[in-house]
Amino acid sequence: GDSVTQMEGPVTLSEEAFLTINCTYTATGYPSLFWYVQYPGEGLQLLLKATKADDKGSNKGFEATYRKETTSFHLEKGSVQVSDSAVYFCALSDRGATNKLIFGTGTLLAVQP
């Protein structure tokens, strides 16, 4: 079945460092891809999305490009801030009848001042 694999954390960075969180997927069709962010004790918020190959999603300085040839959707940010500390989830949505969201295990990012 469809699945998402993302790099394990925690990822610890200093403020203003460059961030990459790797995400790869397995899907039989052409899924939509997402990054969600979860702050402590809260639900998930959509960070960005891409619905077809070569699309780039971007929001709040974060970017991710839908790479069909490598089945990847890596999250990047050029300069992280302490306020970016959170858990980041990569997810895909199949386009079948169920339209379910399938999540990776999450990556904890800790940014130190």
Partner 1 sequence: DGGITQSPKYLFRKEGQNVTLSCEQNLNHDAMYWYRQDPGQGLRLIYYSQIVNDFQKGDIAEGYSVSREKKESFPLTVTSAQKNPTAFYLCASRHQESTEAFFGQGTRLTVV
Binding residues for partner 1, per CB under 8 A? 32, 34, 36, 41-46, 49, 51, 89, 93, 95, 98-106
In the complex, the smallest distance separating the C-beta of residue 78 from partner 1, rounded to whole angstroms, is 25
Nearer to partner 1 (CB atom), residue 19 or residue 104: 104
Q: How many residues does the chain have?
A: 113
Nearer to partner 1 (CB atom), residue 41 or residue 113: 41
What separation, in Å, do the N-terminal and C-terminal C-alpha atoms of the chain show?
41
Instruction: For residue 63, give the nearest of 51, 50, 53, 52 by alpha carbon.
Output: 50
Could you say which DSSP state residue 67 is in? B
* CA separation for the pair 90, 113 (Å, rounded): 26
In the complex, the smallest distance separating the C-beta of residue 16 from partner 1, rounded to whole angstroms, is 29
What does the block give as tokens for 23?
């995400």
In the complex, the smallest distance separating the C-beta of residue 62 from partner 1, rounded to whole angstroms, is 16
Nearer to partner 1 (CB atom), residue 78 or residue 96: 96
